[in-house]
Structure 1
Amino acid sequence: MLHLLEKISDSPAGSELDNAIALVKLLRPKKREAPALAITNVRTLTHLLQQHPHHAATLRHHLLHLLSARRQTSLYTDIGILSNDGFFSELHRRLAYRVLPPALDDRYLSDCLEKLFPFNTDYLWMRAVPVDDWAALFEVLQNADAELPPEADKFDKLDEQKTLTEILLAIQVLSYRISAIGIEPELIRIYSDVKAFESPFLMQNVELHRYLDGYMHHLNADAISPAPLEDASHVLVMLDQCQEVVTRIRKSTLRLGTSIAVTYRLVRLDQHLDRLRKLLSLVDVGKPENAAVTAMQKRGIGLELGLELIEAHNRKYTVRDLFAANINLLARNITENASRTGEHYIAEDRREYAAMYKSAAGAGFIIGFMSMIKILFSYLRAAPLVEAFLFSMNYSLGFMLIHVLHFTVATKQPAMTASRIAAGLHSSDGRNLDLDSLTELIVKVIRTQFVAVLGNLTIAFPVAYLLASGYFLLAGHHFVAPDKAQHLLHDIDPFSSLALFHAAIAGVCLFLAGLISGYYDNKALYTRMSQRVARARWLSRLLGKARTERLGDYLEISLGGLMGNFYFGILLGTIGTVGFLLGLPIDIRHITFSATNFAIALVGLDHAVSWSVIAVSTFGVLAIGTMNLWVSFSLALFVALRSRQVKFRHGWPLLKSLCARFLKKPADFFIPPRAAATAAAPASTPAQDSSESA
């Protein structure tokens, strides 16, 4: 390391990167998996510079010259900030550059980072070094200018001036971009109040120009009559107002819906506002009594910004970061719709409990017919893809009919109730969590889920049984042959078949259907589906204006439920065929259809079934249902928590609270009280909106 410092001292004015690359290589730990070794290297360099002030001065001169000899603006305005191309263009660019990296130009400082920090783990060892150690190193370099001759010191001041000019130019570019993004029509449509007064996105640019004009006048003034310089407080106030508008737009999207493009713009706005604040903090040299930050704070901000830029450079082709930055808000909107719908899936009192049972019973009645129709389609011996289409339409149209009639499929509840539970976690750090309220909410969810499953099974099983028996009386032979009946029983056997694995696949389908439904709910709100349908002249001529308006209102409310049920049917109807075509053991098992198949098999075998088979089949149906519910609920809760960025750390206390509640009042987990415990605002009954999906 001392040899390298001597080499730099011999030619401190060189503009090549070789010495800087060698210095970073010496600081970088030999083993990438042990970044803490970099602490020793940084401290060693600091100690050497303290012992050799001349080397510290020449190193400072060399680094300043390297900075001033290159264009820096793009480093501050582009690295760590999403491009203007949009989400999918940015995704394509990152994927393409991971395969074939772009060409580099040493004239740009942002491209020089590729040579200085070529490994995508460099930011790890740099962040492993404590801030105090980096601050000590920078302090040695900053105080080393006294060791330089007057000529070199003059060049250093010129280099600093060039770097300062580049930062000011970057500030101006960021301000223009904030103005352009902030007045995008889509953002103004969501938050139209921006039109009611002068937009802060435009006014921050006006204030910034005033500040920069004063700043440049101050820099160009002579030492005898220096121009006064105001601090950046007015600009920072305008940036705070911009951030407030961004927050309001985000809240509005929860009510009006959002899109990937809007989410992408909001993320870019956040990134530009944050970067502009940091750069302003670095260059602000107002009066000491008015200065926004002290010299020590500036050093900390500069260090944090440098580490942020290096990390962003190392991860600039990472697809995961792109998704993490954009998907959370979109997922929040999707699960927010599910949360509101989930309230209709929670029975507060016995009246709503009875309504939920009736709603689930209606769905069970229809599913009994759907099971028979599916078996009829299988008798056609159609080609695999044709059979998949017939199965899918049977499921899709049946589930959509259940939705239109406001009935409830029990297994579709978890996707909504999981989002409702996530909404109950009020604090992202969990400190302000009301454990008693959350326990009460989960108890309500459990008993509502119980009565929904009960309603499905107690009606679907006898309906299928009566249909199969009626077919035998009318046709003179059973609806299913003994071999087919044995096959139906085998499919629900949890011990000798893959019934539980197939039930888990069905749980994943339920979860995906919930996401699809939430997506279309969000899309219907964002695109103002009701108004679009009402403006369709051809539809008004066909149905009449009043009916068209009612249709538009219905679609805006129910589009998510209809599409979720439609795609859920497609998933259930095609997965078995996909497994057959690929030669993989992939299929689905659903609790209600398993119960109806059990009933049909009993009739087909003339009830010549042992008690052990009945017990195993009954256990299999319940186990399939448990797997359906657990998988869909777990996935939905995981996505809901991630979308809200909730870190839940109270699992064990919550479990103890639930156990204590079960020991104290076990009946509450199955039967609600006569009246709601709290005087909450009345919500629509489960029977009215129970089919809406997450």
Structure 2
Amino acid sequence: MSELRSLLNNLNPDADLAARHVWLINLFAWIRGDGASVDGAVARVQSFIDAAAAQPEFGMRLKAWWRTLRQTVEVTTLLADFGFAPRTAFFSELGVRLRRKMLPGTPETIDSAELFPLVAPTRFDALWLAALTEKQIDQLVALLTSDVAADTLAWQHNVMDALTYCNAQIRATGFAPELRLRMDTANDDDRAFHPLSADLDALRLIFFKIYQNNSTAVIQNAGSGSLAADNEPLDAAIASYRARLETCRQAINGVYVHLQDNGISVGLVFMLRQLRERIVRMRELLDALTTPKPAVTAVKLLSRRVTMGQDGKSIGALISANSTLLSAKMAERSSEVGEHYITRDGAEYRTMLGKAMGGGAITAFTTLLKFMVMGFGLTAFWGGFWAGCVYAGSFVLIQLLQLTLATKQPAMTAPAMAA
């Protein structure tokens, strides 16, 4: 308990930016403990709640600290951009991950996407955040703010801003020539992204109009499937926007078809993955906007951000995720070539045997030429150079004569047999 008392005493809402954030980092570190027990971490959260409730003077400092945090830290970057590459380029994201591994972060920042990994740096944080009960979350809300309605409105504005930023990123990526020119123009897939801004503007207008004209409780019932008559326009706007997102998701499927037919680009695959994940993020933010329990939803969202942040650290996962389609295409091409090395009847077997004998004869002659080159007593460089030329020429000759080399068969036939 001495650590908890020290934490409570060290909170200074008037401290500088870095000191305020360091206090939050230390609080999460104390809650995390040794990372061995989720129940233990949840119990420490309850201990913090009880200790804070028992000290009115600390409660006032905590509310002031929270108010300053909300005013100084940009929350929308955590909601909209966290987990995404700053540019939709594979090597750009690879550079970012390498830099994060080599260079430490700083708590002196107003970017929540930069601060959050310092506050919750382990997967264990996702577990105990997800394990918090609604009662505990409500108690934390009561400790942090005395005006829940104002904070709820500020949260909804932040979520709506995050939707706007995500929407802009989706449209920009959808309009990129690399993707647009590969979409199916017959179904107007290349125009699926045009109405996104108009649909979101209509949703924003209806949402805040209803918020101003009705109680918060009425707004929070939107999207539940059992709306009052006044909320029907909002429900229709949300449904329309979700349908638009689904249309965009289907439009980029045509790009995958193009890649399958014409070749794979790791950069394009990365752009497509980022775009699909942005669409998923938009759906998540729409749920957060219309939830009847914004505080509970915010905590669950933070839990998912922790997991996302941990996944975003792995360089191997980045390479693996974006090279899967390339690997599949390589195996498919190898299997197509391997079909030529598989015989199914006697005639095909005799033909293949003849081609293999021809290839073997040329290879034997190639070996003879290599020993002749070695007999000239050339230096290591020139001996290797001319031996390489001999082998290269023999392989080209085998291809021109449509012969085959038996050593190629396992590598070529295995993908075909697997397919």
Question: Contact conserved, 1:254 with 1:336, CA < 8 A, in 2?
Answer: no
Report the secondary structure of 1:230's partner residue: helix
Contact 1:259–1:330 under 8 Å retained in 2: yes
Partner of 1:356: 352
Partner Cα separation in structure 2 for residue 86 and residue 277 of structure 1: 23
Q: Residue 24 of structure 2 aligns to which amino acid in structure 1?
A: A
Q: Summarize the Cα distance change of 1:253–1:145 in structure 2 as closer, same or farther, 3 Å threshold.
A: closer
For the Cα contact (< 8 Å) 1:29–1:38, is it kept in 2? Answer: no
When residues 77 and 48 of structure 1 are mapped into structure 2, their CA distance, relative to the original with a 3 A threshold, is closer
Alpha-carbon deviation of 1:64?
5.3
Q: Which amino acid aligns with 1:28?
A: R
**Structure 2 counterpart of 1:36, which letter?**
A
Q: Deviations over 1:308-348 (max 9, x none)?
A: 42244345454223212321122222222122223333223
Query: Is 1:270 the counterpart of 2:270 in the alignment?
Result: no
Structure 1: how far apart are the matches of 2:33 and 2:6? 22
Q: Aligned runs of 1:129-208 on 2, under 5 Å? A: 129=128, 131=130, 133-134=131-132, 136=133, 138-142=134-138, 152-154=145-147, 156-193=148-185, 196=188, 199-208=191-200
In the TM superposition, what is the alpha-carbon distance from 1:362 to its structure 2 partner?
2.1
Other-structure match for 1:367: 363
Question: Which residue among 259, 267, 289 is the counterpart of 2:265?
Answer: 259
Q: How many Å apart are 1:60 and its aligned residue?
A: 8.7
Inter-CA distance 245–9: structure 2 relative to 1 (3 Å threshold) = farther
The one-letter code sitting in structure 1 at the alignment partner of 2:197 is N
Cα deviation code 1:152-207 (max 9, x no counterpart):
522x4333333322221111111111111112222233223267366222233332
Cα–Cα, structure 1 residues 52 and 74, in superposed 2: closer, same or farther, change >3 Å? closer
Q: Secondary structure at the match of 1:393?
A: helix
- The 8 Å contact of residues 60 and 142 in structure 1, kept in 2 or not, is answered as no
| Contact 1:54-1:147 at 8 Å conserved across structures | no
Q: 2:95 aligns with which of 92, 97, 116?
A: 92
Corresponding position of 1:674: none
**Aligned to 2:40, what secondary structure does the other structure show?**
helix
Structure 1 position 24, deviation (Å): 0.9
Correspondent of 2:84 among 78, 81, 85: 81
Please say if residues 5 and 55 of structure 1, whose CA atoms lie closer than 8 Å, have aligned partners that are also in contact: no
Tell me, in whole angstroms, the C-alpha distance in 2 between the residues paired with 1:372 and 1:335.
35
- Going from structure 1 to structure 2, the CA distance change for 1:361 and 1:89 (only over 3 Å counts) comes to same
Q: Which consecutive residues of structure 2, in runs of 5 or more, have no partner in the other structure?
A: 220-229
CA-atom RMSD, angstroms? 3.6
Matched, 1:42 2:42: yes
C-alpha distance in structure 2 between counterparts of 1:10 and 1:419, whole Å: 64
* Alignment-derived partner of residue 234 in structure 1: 240
Tell me how far 1:86 sits from its aligned partner: 1.8
Tell me, yes or no, if structure 1 residue 109 matches structure 2 residue 112: yes
Aligned equivalent of 1:416 = 412
Change in 2 beyond 3 A, CA 1:313/1:376:
same
Q: Deviations over 1:411-444 (max 9, x none)?
A: 2223333323443xxxxxxxxxxxxxxxxxxxxx
Asked if 2 retains the 8 angstrom alpha-carbon contact of 1:20 and 1:116, the reply is yes
Partner of 1:398: 394
Q: Could you say if the C-alpha distance between residues 195 and 82 of structure 1 is closer, same or farther in structure 2, counting changes exceeding 3 Å? A: farther
**Residue type of the partner of 1:190?**
R
Whether contact under 8 Å (1:106, 1:112) holds in the other structure is yes
**Separation in structure 1 between the aligned mates of residue 186 and residue 139 of structure 2, nearest angstrom:** 48
- Given that residues 339 and 420 in structure 1 are in contact (C-alpha distance below 8 angstroms), is that contact kept between their aligned partners in structure 2? yes
Give the direction of change, closer, same or farther, for the CA distance of 1:303–1:246 in structure 2 (3 Å limit).
Answer: farther
In the TM superposition, what are the counterparts of 1:577-592 in structure 2 within 5 Å? none
Match of 1:216 in 2: 208
The answer as to whether partners of 1:239 and 1:273 remain within 8 angstroms in 2 is yes
Aligned AA (2:398): I
Quick one: structure 1 residues 197 and 114, their matched pair in 2 at CA, closer, same or farther if it must change by over 3 Å? closer
Query: Contact 2:81–2:166 at 8 Å: present in 1 too?
Result: no
Q: How far did residue 87 of structure 1 move? A: 1.9
Measure, in 2, the Cα distance between the counterparts of 1:47 and 1:36. Answer: 18
Percent of aligned pairs with the same residue?
21
Q: Deviations over 1:61-116 (max 9, x none)?
A: 57853345410122223321123162223323433443344666421212222432
Query: Within 2, Cα distance between the matches of 1:359 and 1:375?
Result: 25
Q: Aligned partners of 2:100, 2:140: CA distance in 1, in Å?
A: 41
In structure 2, the residue corresponding to 1:265 is in which secondary structure?
Answer: helix
Report the Cα distance in structure 2 between the residues aligned to 1:63 and 1:332, rounded to whole angstroms.
52
- Note the alpha carbon deviations across 1:456-480, whole angstroms, 9 max, x for none: xxxxxxxxxxxxxxxxxxxxxxxxx
**Gap change, CA 1:417 and 1:304, over 3 Å in 2:** farther
- Equivalenced residue count is 398
- Going from structure 1 to structure 2, the CA distance change for 1:25 and 1:203 (only over 3 Å counts) comes to same
> Contact (CA 8 Å) 1:105, 1:111: kept in 2 or not?
no
Structure-2 separation of matches of 1:55 and 1:345: 81
Check 1:271–1:223 CA distance in 2 against 1; reply closer, same or farther (3 A cut). closer
Looking at structure 1, the residues matched to 104 and 381 of structure 2 have their Cα atoms a distance apart, in angstroms, of 42
2:327 is the counterpart of 1:334:
no
Q: Does 1:29 align with 2:33?
A: yes
Separation in structure 2 between the aligned mates of residue 215 and residue 315 of structure 1, nearest angstrom: 34
Give 5+ residue unaligned stretches, structure 1: 286-293, 424-694
Out of 331, 338, 344, which is 2:340 matched to? 344
Helix, strand or coil at the partner of 2:354: helix
Residue 125 of structure 2 is matched in structure 1 by 126
Given that 1:370 and 1:398 are in contact with CA atoms closer than 8 Å, whether structure 2 keeps it comes out as yes
Relative to structure 1, the CA distance from residue 385 to residue 96 in structure 2 (aligned partners, 3 Å threshold; closer, same or farther) is: farther
1:274-673 matches, within 5 Å, as: 274-284=280-290, 299=296, 302-303=298-299, 305-314=301-310, 316-423=312-419
The residue type equivalent to 2:239 in the other structure is: S
The 2-side partners of 1:194 and 1:8 are apart by 64
Decide which moves more: 366-375 or 160-169: 160-169
- In structure 1, the residue matched to 2:226 is none
The verdict on how the C-alpha distance between 1:85 and 1:45 changes in structure 2, with shifts beyond 3 A counting, is: closer
Distance 1:38 1:164 in 2: 30
Q: Give distance in 2, aligned partners of 1:198 and 1:260.
A: 21
- SS, match of residue 273 in structure 2: helix
1:126–1:307 Cα contact (<8 Å) kept: yes
User: TM-score normalized by structure 1?
Assistant: 0.51
1:550 paired residue number: none
The residue type equivalent to 1:73 in the other structure is: T
Whole-angstrom CA distance in 2 between matches of 1:112 and 1:354: 70
Is contact 2:13-2:65 (8 Å) kept?
no
SS in 1 for 2:344: coil
Q: Which of the two has higher C-alpha Rg? A: 1
1:352-381 deviation digits (Å, cap 9, x = unpaired) = 333322222221121111111111121122
Give TM-score scaled by structure 2 length.
0.81
1:125-145 CA-to-partner distances (Å, cap 9, x unmatched) read: 2345494x23x1x54122565
Indicate conservation of the 8 Å contact 2:170/2:278, yes or no. Answer: yes
User: In the aligned structure 2, how far is the partner of 1:84 from the partner of 1:10?
Assistant: 40
